[in-house]
Amino acid sequence: MKILAFNASPRKSKGTTDVLMEAFIDGAKKSNADVDKHHIVDLDINGCLSCFTCWWKTPGVCVHRDDMDWIIPKISEADILLFGTPIYGRNITHYMQRMVERTFPLSLPEMFATKDGQTSHPSRERKIPRLVLAATCGFPDLNNFDIVKALYPTALPILLPASQMLSNDEGKEYLSDFLDAIRLTGQKMVEGDEIPESLKNKLIVEYSDEMKSTVIKTHNLYSASRME
């Protein structure tokens, strides 16, 4: 089973999004997954020019010659596409958005009405990888992920608010069940198992009001200590 993973945080392996991604990968490797992970900031990805060349002049091939040349065929080969993104301005980062826009060559120009009353383009490829989306944010409230959830309704969400919790041992301990749930999910997905609702629920961290107050206090103390 092939996993293609992209981290859209500029903090790369030093960030918190990567901790979630690595937990998934850790579990997946227990089931012998073939994992190929990249940090988007290290890649050369130009912005889409909206020239539609990939639809009508050279079907499936973009005018840009950059890292998307190898990424597009790899997406078609992957069984699982794992995206990790921090929330910036309540949305995915522009690093991820740029890459997503450049997957346009994977769609065909035709429009069709979907079963749920929407309109879409068919995929150029027969195989579509399962999408797993790991996202982190700084505020303790889950509504920071509303846009991401609306953007990718078919993705399996792994969501961590107040991700700064991962920067100390106490927070890591508090989140150990969450990290274990991510590992188990990675392992199960590679084994082809359905992910039960009980496990899916553990992939989304929700804090009590008391915990949210603690997050706010801790943040403000830390922030004040950093002022120069």
Ligand X SMILES: Cc1cc2nc3c(=O)[nH]c(=O)nc-3n(C[C@H](O)[C@H](O)[C@H](O)COP(=O)(O)O)c2cc1C
Q: What's the chain's Rg over C-alpha atoms? A: 19
> Which amino acid appears at position 83 of this protein?
F
Count of residues near ligand X by CB under 6 A: 16
The only residue of 60, 138, 157, 171 in contact with ligand X, by rule CB under 6 A: 138
Q: How far is CA 141 from CA 6, 68, 204, in A?
A: 25, 34, 11
Residues 6+ apart with CB under 8 A from 208: none
Binding mask 67-86 for ligand X (x = CB under 6 A): -------------------x
The only residue of 6, 15, 54, 178 in contact with ligand X, by rule CB under 6 A: 15
Q: Positive or negative, the Cα torsion across 56, 60, 65, 66?
A: positive
Stretch that binds ligand X, among 13-21, 55-63, 65-73, 197-205 (CB under 6 A): 13-21
Q: How far is the CB of 137 from ligand X (least distance, A)?
A: 3
> Which amino acid appears at position 191 of this protein?
E
**DSSP 3-state assignment of 157?**
strand
Query: Which candidate, 176, 177, 133, 139, places its Cα nearest to that of 157?
Result: 133
User: Toward ligand X, which CB reaches closer, 30 or 212?
Assistant: 212
Q: Tell me: does residue 90 bind ligand X (CB under 6 A).
A: yes
The only residue of 22, 136, 178, 182 in contact with ligand X, by rule CB under 6 A: 136
The only residue of 55, 104, 139, 207 in contact with ligand X, by rule CB under 6 A: 139
Binding mask 96-135 for ligand X (x = CB under 6 A): ----------------------------------------
User: Toward ligand X, which CB reaches closer, 23 or 190?
Assistant: 23
Stretch that binds ligand X, among 9-17, 98-106, 108-116, 196-204 (CB under 6 A): 9-17
Q: Tell me: does residue 148 bind ligand X (CB under 6 A).
A: no
**DSSP H/E element including 97:** helix 94-101
Contact between 160 and 24 (Cβ < 8 Å): no
CA distance 85 to 165: 17
Q: Tell me: does residue 182 bind ligand X (CB under 6 A).
A: no
Q: Tell me: does residue 11 bind ligand X (CB under 6 A).
A: yes
Q: Report the 10 Å Cβ neighbour count for 175.
A: 21
The crossing angle, in degrees rounded to 10, of helices 17-30 and 176-190 is 40
User: Toward ligand X, which CB reaches closer, 16 or 187?
Assistant: 16
Chain positions contacting ligand X, by CB under 6 A: 9, 11, 15-17, 86-90, 136-139, 144, 163
